[in-house]
Homo-oligomer: A and B are copies of this chain.
Amino acid sequence: MARRTDHSRDELFDLVLNASQQIIELEGVSALTARRIASRIGYSPGTLYNLFDNIDEIVLHLNARTLDDLYQQIFEKVDQSTGRAKLDRMITAYLQFTQPTNQRWNLLFEHRHPNNQTLPDWYQERLVRLLDLIATILQSLLPGCGEREINHSARVLWCSLHGICSQAGENHLDGVNARTKDEMARSLIYNYVSGLKRAG
C-alpha cells in the first residue's frame, strides 16, 4: 500500500541482516523466518524478496559475516605467538567460537544450498581467507611441507573440527562415554599434525 522511501536498498539490506542476527541470538536458529524478519524491521514479508532470492540467501550472508568474525578472532589470538603456541591459540579461539550456545555458529552449518549450483564468490572469498589463515599456521609448524599439501591439510582440519563441534557440541554423543568437545578437538589436531610431521 504505502510507499516506503525511508531506507535505501543498502540500508534495507543491513536492516535485514541485523534483524536476522538479533533473532537467532535471542530466539535461536529455528526462529529465523521471513515473517519474523519482516515484522522486526517494519516491512512486509514480500519486501525481503526484492533484496534476496530466498531465506537461504539471507542465511548465507549472515554466515559470511560469521566467517569474517571467526577469522578475526583467530587472527587476533594467534598474532603474537609462534610455533606450537600458534596452534594452541588457534584451537582455543576456534573452540571458544563454537560453543553450542553461539547461535551464529549453529547457523553456519544449517545452510542448505541447491545441489546444482556452487556457492557465490563473495562467500567463497570469506571461506578461503579463513582457510588460508589456518594454512599459514600449519605451514609454520610444518616448514618442509609443500603449499598444496598444507592447503589440503587446512581443509581437512576445518571439516573435521566442524564434525567434532557439531556432534560433540550438541549432545549427540551423550551416553556413549565421549570426552568433552575440547578434548576431542585437541586430540584431533595434535595427532593429525603430528602425523603430518612424521610423513613430511
Residues of B with C-beta under 8 A to A187: 152-153, 156
A159 close to B168 (CB less than 8 A):
yes
Q: Give Cα A173–Cα B188 distance, bound, in whole angstroms.
A: 21
B199 close to A156 (CB less than 8 A):
no
B128 close to A155 (CB less than 8 A):
no
Residues of B with C-beta under 8 A to A7: none
* Per-residue contact bits, chain A 162-175, to B (CB 8 Å; 1 contact, 0 not): 11101110111111
Contact of A5 with B by CB under 8 A: no
Residues of B with C-beta under 8 A to A161: 160, 163
Chain B residue nearest in CB terms to A169: B159
Min CB–CB distance A145 → chain B (angstroms): 12
A171 close to B118 (CB less than 8 A):
yes
Interface residues of A, count at CB 8 A: 50
B184 close to A152 (CB less than 8 A):
yes
B188 close to A199 (CB less than 8 A):
no
Min CB–CB distance A191 → chain B (angstroms): 3
Min CB–CB distance A116 → chain B (angstroms): 9
A167 close to B171 (CB less than 8 A):
no
Min CB–CB distance A132 → chain B (angstroms): 10
State which residues 125-170 of A face B: CB under 8 Å.
Answer: 127-128, 131, 151-153, 155-156, 158-164, 166-168, 170
Interface residue ranges, A against B (CB under 8 Å): 100, 109, 112-113, 115, 118-119, 121, 124, 127-128, 131, 151-153, 155-156, 158-164, 166-168, 170-179, 183-184, 187-188, 190-196, 198-199
